[in-house]
Chain A
Amino acid sequence: MPKTLTILMLSGYQENEDPIFAVGLAKAVLKAGYGVNIFLFGNGVNMANKEKPLEGHLRITEKLRKHVELGKVGEQLDELAQLGADIATCHTSEYGRGTEADDYRQGIKWGDVGDSFVRFLVTSDRVITIGHS
């Protein structure tokens, strides 16, 4: 059975480049034949949900929009899930941010610390935390 890496992801979109690093590393680990779990915790849960269409007049410039889009790694999370990554959220973190009932991106699962994260921990060979808190 291949070894498994669990990533505890504490940062969300646009805070820093933690999500970009996490998906880059996770993809390389998966492609090397290992397993990957990602637990989205704290602000990390803002990557779990499907994006809602923005309505109304948007003041963002095209240049700034392109820059912001670089940090939105949702599609890369979709790809990781398709490659076999197990990705779960912390529903308490979601509740605190008002997103618990929102739709998840494909491949991302509702989760919690007591079950999902503990299951990740006890079935992992390596655990890393990526965040700024």
Chain B
Amino acid sequence: MLFLINKTQPNLFDLISLLGGDEDKDVLLIGDAVFYGADVMADKFRGIGVEKLYVSKPCLATRSVRLSKECIPLDYNEMVPLIMEEHDKILSL
């Protein structure tokens, strides 16, 4: 299951845990949500069972974020297989 997150929100981690349940969970951060890719935040995703944390390169380009080494930056072309092939379920939050 892929969570597509485009904004910051106070209950994000609870929502991912609740909606993702026991399924394999990956996250793609876009828009203002790329701030969750900061090194001080990325561990929280690990804590709720997120396996891979992807971040939009175009959205990073306009923000000053010290990105965690855990994050995988992707351009639009690299997002295509993630969305169209690698995940059957995508939840937008």
| Chain A residues proximal to chain B, CB less than 8 Å | 3, 5, 16-18, 20-21, 24-25, 27-29, 31-32, 34, 125-132
Contact = CB atoms under 8 A, between A and B. Distances in A.
Interface string B15-36: 0000000000000001110000
Contact of B80 (A21, A32, A129, A130): A32
Interface residues of B, number: 20
Given A21-B30, A24-B58, A32 B92 contact: no
5 contacts: A16-B31, A17-B62, A29-B84, A130-B6, A130-B92
Given A21-B6, A126-B90, 6 more contacts: A3-B85, A17-B31, A21-B30, A21-B59, A28-B79, A132-B6
B83 A29 contact: yes
Contact of A128 (B4, B7, B31, B80): B4
A28 B80 CA distance: 7
